A and B are shown apart, each in its own frame.
Chain A
Amino acid sequence: MRLAWKELIRRPARFLSTGGALTLIVVLLLLLGGLLDGLTLSATGAYGAQTADLLVYTDEANGSLFRSRIDPDVRAQLEDVEGVHTVSGIGAVLLPARIAGSPDPTDVAVFGYEAPNAQVPAPPAGGEAYVDRTLADAGLALGEIFAVGPAAVELRAKDWVDDTSFLAQAGVWADGATWREVLAANRPDAVLPDGTWQALLVEAEGDVDAGELASRIEAATPGLDPQTRAQAILGLPGVEAQQGTFTNIIVMTFVIAGLVVALFFALLTLERVGLFGVLKAIGTSSRTLAGGLVVQAVAIAVGAFVVGGLVTIGLTPVVPPDVPIELVPRRAIVTALGLVVTALIGSAVSFRRIVRIDPASAVGGS
């Protein structure tokens, strides 16, 4: 192992080509992952911010907030289900907003809600709204009034909230009455009476399992479709397809990284057959030689991740602002681990060749 490490330090040039290729792959992986996370966040941030265990739609809504409506009687039935701790209403409408000083309208998702979540505090006073920070880019300032929808319902920006976009539109969070006013003025066909919400957020009691509670709700209140937060997020239009597509591209990129490592170490092993033969002849085990290969592969992968990570961080500011790249630590950790595992598998391809090197080949050669 020490021998492998010394070779890496003293002959860095011979590992440069593979290290360089892996660095570019790391940049690609981080940018792809960042893009996926950014797109997912902009589509699902409002759901991701919820702390409730279940999001309950009506059956016929088929997982769409806009097609669902739950009246107070059904809500009362739901509240009586064993294991339900709290129930709160939520609804949304997608509208254009006019911001002073901005020539073009900005698309927003106006939410009406009853209970605070991880990102948004308890509902503000009537006529006010918590607004997603992305609206600052559109020129909105705190305390400023902006007009929502064709009917230009005025709302005052009370405070910023982060990561609450919905279907790539900035989240605007108002109390139930204000939201109903916005609906009535701009979407008279979709207006809801007091007490009726598009969906309900349900928190389970104590350690009641969310899946178990969903089954109980389905049994007690036919016509409702309770979904876990993860199910609700995947049910949003395009999210599952988007995640599937990006995940496949990322997995393929990892496969290419593995092939790069495998090919490089296969060639390197071929080049070192003579040296490995001598080392085996003087008593080095195949296991030690293979261990050296692993040390080199992992070191190259880690080095490539560090350099690639720095390059990606350096590149992010020059990415156009309308490309939603989100660099998150979890993605970086997954990429680093994936790369190390890929390097291990790639280097393992040469193990068989190492085992087959005959120590007797060291004798009698020139």
Chain B
Amino acid sequence: MPALDMTDVRKVYGSGHTEVVALDHASLTVADDEMVALVGPSGSGKTTLLSIVGGLLAPSEGAVRVGPHEITTYDRKELTTFRREFVGFVFQGANLVPFLSAKENLLVVADIAGRTGKQAEQRATLLLEELGLGDRMGNTPGELSGGERQRVAIGRALMNEPELVLFDEPTSALDTKLGEQVMELIRAEVKERGTAAIIVTHDTRMTHFADRTVEISDGRLAA
């Protein structure tokens, strides 16, 4: 079963004269250990696609299946549970909780899923060590560099062993060298776990880290 099977998805904002088609009959399948780079100019529909796949936005038409989850049939509460249990997000600019340490930022995910305790602590420690942040676990985001913050965000996305990880411009705030290091790390972590990933980026220098690149333009996907 593929990690993602998106069929004929449309997303329309507004109606009548103000109607804007953000996604136009988009179909995409991602295998369960595949890493896909989604590239396209601003306003092409990348963010809309990512939001729909992540259960943040409901499509106007079409079906989205993540693993065994037919999320287009889910209500708001079920989508919240889906995001908590089965998807990992890495946002542009990390978006960490500013008053928590690196480790606590990972534990937030376990906490909201009700999985606190020693096991969660061990997993957070292990992930941060793998991400090269073993000695920065107690530091708050304000005490970390941009690259370190993004690595913490990657750890947070992997904390609950998701089936699909969605990366929203993960290197946009980093210089080329740091961006490449982060992309290498993302690839290593995702491949080691056999997790599927979609990386939205406008930086074509980063696409070679992915198994496949999909272009999007005016809401239409082209392989």
Binding site for B on A (CB under 8 A): 2-3, 6-7, 10-11, 274-275, 278-285, 288, 358-360, 362-366
Besides A281-B56, A281-B91, A366-B92, 15 other CB < 8 A contacts?
Answer: A3-B100, A3-B108, A3-B111, A279-B108, A281-B83, A282-B108, A282-B109, A283-B82, A283-B85, A285-B80, A360-B51, A360-B57, A362-B91, A363-B54, A366-B93
Contact in complex: A363, B81 (CB < 8 Å) = no
Contact in complex: A284, B56 (CB < 8 Å) = no
Contact in complex: A363, B84 (CB < 8 Å) = no
Top 7 nearest A-B pairs (CB, nearest first) are: A283-B84, A364-B47, A360-B56, A283-B83, A278-B95, A360-B51, A10-B99
A282 to chain B, nearest CB (A): 6
Look across to chain A and name the residue whose beta carbon is closest to the beta carbon of B109.
A282
A363 to chain B, nearest CB (A): 5
Contact in complex: B91, A278 (CB < 8 Å) = yes
- In the assembled complex, the Cα of A358 lies from the Cα of B58 at a distance in Å of 12
Contact pattern, B 132-146, Cβ under 8 Å of A = 1, otherwise 0: 000000000000000
Tally B residues with Cβ within 8 Å of A.
32
- In the assembled complex, the Cα of A275 lies from the Cα of B105 at a distance in Å of 12
* In the complex, chain B residues whose CB is within 8 Å of the CB of A365: 91-93
A101 to chain B, nearest CB (A): 65
Contact of A364 among B77, B81, B97, B168 (CB under 8 A): B168
Known: A11-B99, A363-B168. A281 touches B54 (CB 8 A): yes
Look across to chain A and name the residue whose beta carbon is closest to the beta carbon of B92.
A366
Question: How many contacting A-B pairs (Cβ < 8 A)?
Answer: 80
* In the complex, chain A residues whose CB is within 8 Å of the CB of B111: 2-3
- In the assembled complex, the Cα of A284 lies from the Cα of B114 at a distance in Å of 11
- In the assembled complex, the Cα of A280 lies from the Cα of B102 at a distance in Å of 19
* In the complex, chain A residues whose CB is within 8 Å of the CB of B81: 283
* In the complex, chain B residues whose CB is within 8 Å of the CB of A275: 95, 97-98
Contact of A7 among B47, B83, B92, B99 (CB under 8 A): B99
* In the complex, chain A residues whose CB is within 8 Å of the CB of B54: 281, 363
- In the assembled complex, the Cα of A284 lies from the Cα of B84 at a distance in Å of 7
Assess whether B188 is interfacial by the CB under 8 Å rule: no
Assess whether B20 is interfacial by the CB under 8 Å rule: no
Assess whether B222 is interfacial by the CB under 8 Å rule: no
- Which one of B50, B51, B92 has the greatest number of beta carbons of chain A within 10 Å? B51
- In the assembled complex, the Cα of A125 lies from the Cα of B173 at a distance in Å of 94
Assess whether B104 is interfacial by the CB under 8 Å rule: yes
Look across to chain A and name the residue whose beta carbon is closest to the beta carbon of B100.
A6
A70 to chain B, nearest CB (A): 71
Assess whether B178 is interfacial by the CB under 8 Å rule: no
* In the complex, chain A residues whose CB is within 8 Å of the CB of B51: 360, 363-364
Contact in complex: B99, A281 (CB < 8 Å) = no
B75 to chain A, nearest CB (A): 13
Look across to chain B and name the residue whose beta carbon is closest to the beta carbon of A362.
B91
A352 to chain B, nearest CB (A): 15
* In the complex, chain A residues whose CB is within 8 Å of the CB of B91: 278, 281, 362-363, 365
Contact in complex: A282, B84 (CB < 8 Å) = yes
Contact in complex: B56, A363 (CB < 8 Å) = yes
Look across to chain A and name the residue whose beta carbon is closest to the beta carbon of B113.
A283
* In the complex, chain A residues whose CB is within 8 Å of the CB of B104: 6
- In the assembled complex, the Cα of A3 lies from the Cα of B82 at a distance in Å of 21
B168 to chain A, nearest CB (A): 5
- In the assembled complex, the Cα of A274 lies from the Cα of B97 at a distance in Å of 10
19 contacts between A and B (CB under 8 A): A3-B97, A6-B99, A6-B100, A275-B95, A275-B97, A279-B108, A281-B54, A282-B83, A282-B108, A283-B82, A288-B112, A358-B56, A359-B56, A363-B54, A364-B47, A364-B92, A364-B168, A366-B92, A366-B93
* In the complex, chain B residues whose CB is within 8 Å of the CB of A278: 91, 95
Which residues of B from 103 to 132 have beta carbons under 8 Å from A?
Answer: 104, 108-109, 111-113
* In the complex, chain A residues whose CB is within 8 Å of the CB of B156: 282
- In the assembled complex, the Cα of A274 lies from the Cα of B94 at a distance in Å of 12
- In the assembled complex, the Cα of A362 lies from the Cα of B57 at a distance in Å of 12
- In the assembled complex, the Cα of A206 lies from the Cα of B81 at a distance in Å of 61
- Which one of A6, A10, A282 has the greatest number of beta carbons of chain B within 10 Å? A282
A51 to chain B, nearest CB (A): 55
* In the complex, chain A residues whose CB is within 8 Å of the CB of B168: 363-364
B123 to chain A, nearest CB (A): 16
Contact in complex: A283, B47 (CB < 8 Å) = no
Look across to chain B and name the residue whose beta carbon is closest to the beta carbon of A8.
B99
Look across to chain B and name the residue whose beta carbon is closest to the beta carbon of A274.
B95
- In the assembled complex, the Cα of A364 lies from the Cα of B22 at a distance in Å of 14
Look across to chain B and name the residue whose beta carbon is closest to the beta carbon of A360.
B56
Contact in complex: B112, A284 (CB < 8 Å) = yes
- In the assembled complex, the Cα of A283 lies from the Cα of B85 at a distance in Å of 8
B140 to chain A, nearest CB (A): 9
B42 to chain A, nearest CB (A): 10
B55 to chain A, nearest CB (A): 9
